Structure 1
Amino acid sequence: MINEKDIRMIIGIIGNVLSTSIFLSHMPEFIQAYKKKSVEGVKLAPHLVLLIKCSLWVLYGLPVVHKDNILVTTSNGVGFVIQVIYVVVFWINCDEESRKDLMYICLTFEFCFVAVVYIITIWGFESSAKHTFIGVVCNVYNICIIYLFFTIDKMPESTKTFKYMPFWLSLVSFINAGIWTAYSLIYTIDIYVLISSGLETLLCTFQLLVYASSYTLGKIDVIV
């Protein structure tokens, strides 16, 4: 008979599949960049941001921090590898030394930041304090990402384009966030995954509402 723990695992596996599909959504763009040997028009910043996010959540799900969250680690571990591939492709095909220098600085900072967080989490705290510390760090970082999304990233209302927020990606992201919210509530409540996935659910809801509003007002012709 299936119990709550089994249901949680099934939901987590579904979340892994959806998360991977979202991480892979930019693959065609980087394949084109590789074929053209040019990264003109390719935005690397979101992937540098995701590198840190995935790195932090990988640690959060490790047994040394929390024994029942390995699916969080696998999901973000796959995401981390995919982001690394994107960064490598960008580096290889970038012919502007200034951009490479900036990438080097950003990656060095990211490595140092993540290394410090790992060291503090693993060796600076004992038992449940590890879970609390890295959980707070992960959520603070996620909140910063959401804040930047609303203040810096190109939004459809200001650009009148859905290039950076396609409908199907927003829809899958909404479902994925909902899946992880459910995951955080079944068998054992994980407040940190709940906060993160809950905020992402709200963000995706906002994206879909903006899309629906723009479609209704005729700012876009078809749902793509």
Structure 2
Amino acid sequence: MHIAHFIFGIFGNATALFLFLAPTITFKRIITSKSTEQFSGIPYVMTMLNCLLSAWYGLPFISEDNLLVSTINGAGAAIELLYVLIFLIFAPKKEKAKIFAIFVSVLTVFATVASVSLLALHGNARKNFCGFAATIFSVIMYASPLSIMRMVVKTKSVEFMPFFLSLFVFLCGTSFFVYGLLGKDPFVAVPNGFGCGLGAMQLILYFIYHKKDEQTKPEAANGGVEMGQEKQAVTNGAKVEVV
């Protein structure tokens, strides 16, 4: 049981890392153009909060045998922080002020959770408090593509829902769902079970509607669309370009 728990944790780390690195294409574009264009920085700030809370929950003095939760979410927090800093450098003044205010609020929330858990709570009370906080924001993070799924159904097109991102949402959610079940930890299993279900729904929608996109591609090509043109996609609330 312990070996299986470790294996699913490692696989979850690998798939989650892919998700965290996916927006690098977006930020390459931002750096190149020296503009955030119409991209929103809010998803990156909120994902950073989720990573901070989950990494904190996985520490040994909060919950037992969840170090792999801390490793990937610690790495995720660092990656998201880099995204936020880049966004703050290139965003317009008004947008920069808004994102900075949210960023300060996120750090305040995390500092409050960490301080209360260390100074006022002990044992199961500490674990439950941190677990509930991490679960809430994990569910919010996984739920963010719901608007994109609605768009797919409405337009009958998967143009804005890339297959591999949907696949890795499913794999990441499934891996940590099983990891949480094996570790008998509902604070890991529940939000990732939710992510697993949403990832499965995205894949189902993809296989239902992707043929329509394939049929329309030749028409688009005849209309003068260049090979290799970038398309905007959205994952976890963040825009990502796929070639």
The question of 1:44 aligning with 2:41 is answered: yes
The aligned residue for residue 131 of structure 1 is 127
Aligned partner of 2:11 among 4, 11, 14: 14
AA aligned to 2:114 is Y
Q: Deviations over 1:77-119 (max 9, x none)?
A: 111111111111111122x110111011111111111111111
Q: Give the superposition deviation at 1:155.
A: 3.5
The aligned residue for residue 33 of structure 1 is 30
- Compared CA separation, residues 81 and 42, structure 1 to 2 (3 A): same
AA aligned to 1:205 is A
Between 33-42 and 143-152, report the one with greater CA deviation. 143-152
In structure 1, runs of 5+ residues without a counterpart are none
Counterpart secondary structure, 1:57: helix
AA aligned to 2:210 is Y
Give me the TM-score of the superposition, normalised by structure 2. 0.81
Root mean square deviation, CA, Å: 2.3
Aligned partner of 1:85 among 71, 82, 85: 82
In structure 2, runs of 5+ residues without a counterpart are 218-241
Structure with the larger strand share: 2
Q: Is the 8 A contact 2:148 2:161 kept in 1?
A: no
Q: Percent identity, aligned pairs only?
A: 27
Give me the TM-score of the superposition, normalised by structure 1. 0.87
**1:160, 1:107 → 2: CA distance?**
36
Q: Deviations over 1:11-70 (max 9, x none)?
A: 211211111111001111101211221111333221111011101101110111012101
The aligned residue for residue 221 of structure 1 is 214
How many residues align? The count is 217
Aligned partner of 1:197 among 180, 192, 197: 192
